[in-house]
Structure 1
Amino acid sequence: MNKEILIKQKKELEYLLKKPYIPRQKMVEAKSFLDSDLVKVVIGPRRAGKSIFTAHLFKDKLPAYVNFDDESLVKLEDYDELIKELHSLYGQNKYLLFDEIQNLPNWELFINRLHREGYNLLLTGSNAKLLSQELATSLTGRHVPIEILPFNFKEYLKAKEFEYQENEMVLPEKKGILLNLLIDYMTNGGFPELVVKGLEPRGYLDTLLDSLIFKDIVKRHKLRLSEKIYDLELYFLNNFTAEFSYQKVSRLLGFSSVATLEKFVKYLEEAYLVYTLTRYSYKTGERLSSPKKAYLVDNGYISAKAVQYSPNNGKLMENLVFSELLKMGYQPNHSLFYYRTKNNKEVDFILREGLKVKTLIQAAYDLNGPDTEAREIKALIEAGGELKCNNLIVLTWDDEKIVEVNEQKIVFMPLWKWLIN
């Protein structure tokens, strides 16, 4: 066991706590679990701010810290030696913070043992399903997941030091600055390091995406057909918000089978690169057989890697609404769906609470096209009738009004107002 590595990582943790920190909205929820005996599992994409979040969450406890995103620690075999070295470095300490725990072989058995011995454990990981499946097996009911995604818009505005009151948005200069920031957020996304340091987006995100695919997919799953996973990610980057079927994509990209494609899509989902959204239906068979839609965790990836020079603002806005719904806690294919009416009119997002559809949302960047507004209204009215839902919303770039059709109200709300409220 190389004690020098742990000493170096201790200094890295101390440095991390000195860096500027933008408070995250998940902090209040996370602190409520801090002293419980549940294993706290902070999950999310790489570079979304998990490490600095967990460092600040645990900072008053002065935890012993190990970052397993280190090649020399991945080969670790003597876990007792690790615990001994941690106690020699940090003293008597029952608080342990383990970063990127999924890199450690048989980590779930090690964590289970430490949990039984009374340690207060905080873990981070960049592979949602791998963590949840393995923890569900070894720590049934004894862990709590806390998901950290790139900045939401309110966090982004804090990072940009933009202070506002909603009543100030009647001032043209204030609103103009806000809309300018929203354009940047919608185009370049909310990865914390990019936002805080003002880095060049394309270079940063291009490198991050390629590195992530290699480390979290190609290397972890020992893929021999590594070019196929890159082709698949590029396909979704250029066809985000569009419906797709596994059969068509499999033929288009030359996969040997639909099953192989489905497995590769799952890898992208586990690494927080792609989300697939199911079409809502009361019938399970229709849900399974209908085309899905693809979304990205952050708009910055699209602008950095998509082939088209300038991505469509309407699609960017739809993807942004999807990612913000994730940050609000909606779960794709559980409480979040898309929908097509019996007359094939599409509604972008269906929000469900329990078994009841509560809200229908359309994302409409530009309402100036011929019949655009009427088309959005008709789709919502028709879907609202079929799903017995009266809360109908059209998110716009900057239009605000209420339209009433046959005693049914449709609320047109500016995107910025929805994001900050």
Structure 2
Amino acid sequence: MKLVERNIFSEVQKWLDDTRILLIKGARRTGKTTLLEQIKSYLDHSGKNTILFSADQELDTPYFKSPKLFFNFLSDQYLLENRKLYCLIDECQYLPDASLFLKVIHDLSRGRIKFIVTGSSSLDLLKIKEPLTGRKIEFTLERFSFREYLRAASEYKYDHLFKIPQDIDALKDFYEIYRKDLEYHLVPYLNWGGYPEVCIEKREERKKKYLGEIVTTYIEKDISQFFRIENISKFNSLIRLLCSQRACILNRSEVSNTLGIHFKTLEHYLSILEGTFIITLVRPYYTYVRKELTKMPKVFINDTGIIRNYVGMDFQDLKSVEGNLIENFVFTQLKQHADINIFYYRTVSKAEVDFILKRGQWLIPVEVKFRKRLTVPVVMKNFISTYKEHVEYGILLSQETFDQIDQVYILPVALADFLEFG
């Protein structure tokens, strides 16, 4: 399997000397184990003292029975005088009372052991006795972004990022040079999603097999075994329904009635789907926070391969791709930016701006219009005018147009993952 350097690797590197636990979260099969092995290799080559454990495979060993026993084991076998130990633990959610376990061993180590751990489920979903407040730095490893996919699939190097609006001319030149290659690879990426092993495999029948296995493993391990959901049929029906309604406003009452499940059960299922990185619920943008929390969210599926598995799709070219799938794709690329909060905007008259990106006090409206003839929507113009003190520019993502209308940059959607928001 081709080894693809992940965007997150350089971010994790910056925190290796920090005393806090580094917690790398993410869905199953997104490459957390591979990333952990890469981190260990990097540390080994730097002359560091390291040890790697797989909690799911070693859970029955005596030293994992309690944090005290584990600390004693590390001290006896690996902790060297005057040398910090880097202890890497894969699938930490399998540890008994995971958060408490990590808290205790971190406190016992007193800075002599640096813990770097991965987890397939958000620790927020687990039965936590003790929070890790002040003791951890969190990272989320997403599926392959489009740029990461290109590193695996294209003959060209794609390490570029372009600040908007400063680098707009350089971005235009970049698109002119690489347009054909970008569009050629975007279609299979939309069809199959960003799970690493699916992306790297070239044979279609194996892609289907891998994708099916990923979903089956998720249902059997995370849902049946880990969260002990008994009504798997209803849970699967919910995923299928959400996939068919991707990038749409989620009316919980309608979904509850459609599936015939209690409202509280639906809320529980949705929290699991979010906590296991299958969906993201995006809230509407309001300056009044209570409204933001009470209004209906939009639902996005965190990988288009999941959509393919549940509702089926096979697009031959960009022109045939459905608009809400493109919007879902754009969301998956925007959420790679950890420093940006994503909202949507909807007026009383139900006019919408697809995304509002919030970074500090700055707002960036982003609209997806996947057609050739383009105009800036009135609702977007009004948003820019209303929040003019906080909006420097807007972005309209198109099928292939590169243009500028007043404060709005019109960019081809294939460039969505190459943007850095200044």
Aligned length in residues: 386
Alpha-carbon distance between aligned partners in 2 of 1:162 and 1:379, rounded to the nearest angstrom: 41
Alpha-carbon contact 2:191-2:314 (below 8 Å) kept? no
Q: Contact (CA 8 Å) 1:217, 1:268: kept in 2 or not? A: no
1:143 equivalent in alignment to 2:131:
no
Contact persistence 2:365–2:395 (CA under 8 A): yes
TM-score, length basis structure 1: 0.83
- Whether the 8 Å CA contact 1:238–1:307 is kept in 2: the answer is no
C-alpha distance in 2 between matches for 1:330 and 1:305: 31
2:295 aligned with 1:305, yes or no? no
Paired residue secondary structure (2:335): helix
Which amino acid in 1 is paired with 2:122? A
What displacement does 1:67 show? 1.0
Deviation at 1:84, TM superposition (A): 6.3
**Does structure 2 retain, via aligned residues, the 8 Å contact 1:350–1:357?**
no
**Structure 2 CA distance, aligned partners of 1:78 and 1:287?**
42
Report how far residue 312 of structure 1 moved. Answer: 4.7
- Relative distance call for 1:308 and 1:155 in structure 2 (3 A) is closer
Whether the 8 Å contact between 2:97 and 2:127 is mirrored in structure 1 is: no
Q: Distance in 1 between matches of 2:314 and 2:152?
A: 28
User: SS of the counterpart of 1:29?
Assistant: helix
Distance 1:35 1:177 in 2: 39
The one of 57, 64, 67 equivalent to 2:51 is 64
Matches within 5 A, 1:222-301: 222-256=228-262, 258-301=263-306
Report if the CA contact (8 A) 1:43-1:127 is conserved: yes
Residue 366 of structure 2 aligns to a residue whose secondary structure is strand
Note the C-alpha offset of 1:273. Answer: 0.5
Q: Matches of 2:313 and 2:98 in 1, distance apart?
A: 42
1:329 aligns with 2:329: no
Give the C-alpha shift of residue 364 in structure 1.
Answer: 1.6
RMSD: 2.7
Query: Partner residue of 1:113?
Result: 104
SS at match of 2:353: strand
Distance 1:164 1:220, change over 3 A: closer
Q: How much has 1:320 moved relative to structure 2?
A: 1.1
* TM-score where L is the length of structure 2: 0.83
Distance 1:412 1:116, change over 3 A: same
Deviations 1:293-346 (A, max 9, x none): 110111111122215676953112111111111111156xxx210011343211
Alignment match, 1:414: 412
CA 1:365 to 1:71, structure 2 compared with 1: closer, same or farther past 3 Å? farther
Residue of structure 2 aligned with 1:396, choices 395, 398, 401: 398
Q: Residue 94 of structure 1: which of 85, 109, 116 is its match?
A: 85
3-state secondary structure, aligned to 1:57: helix
Unaligned runs of 5+ in 2: 159-170
Which of 314, 317, 322 is the matching residue for 2:323? 314
* Aligned partners of 2:284 and 2:345 also within 8 Å: yes
For the residues of structure 2 that align with 1:170 and 1:43, how far apart are their CA atoms? 37
Q: 1:55 aligns with which of 19, 29, 37?
A: 37
Correspondent of 2:354 among 344, 348, 351: 348
- 1 CA distance for matches of 2:293 and 2:69? 49
Q: Please tell me the residue identity of whatever aligns with 2:334.
A: L
The offset of 1:269, in angstroms, is 0.4
CA, structure 1 residues 225+184, in 2 after alignment: closer, same or farther (shift >3 Å)? same
Tell me if 1:220 matches 2:226: yes
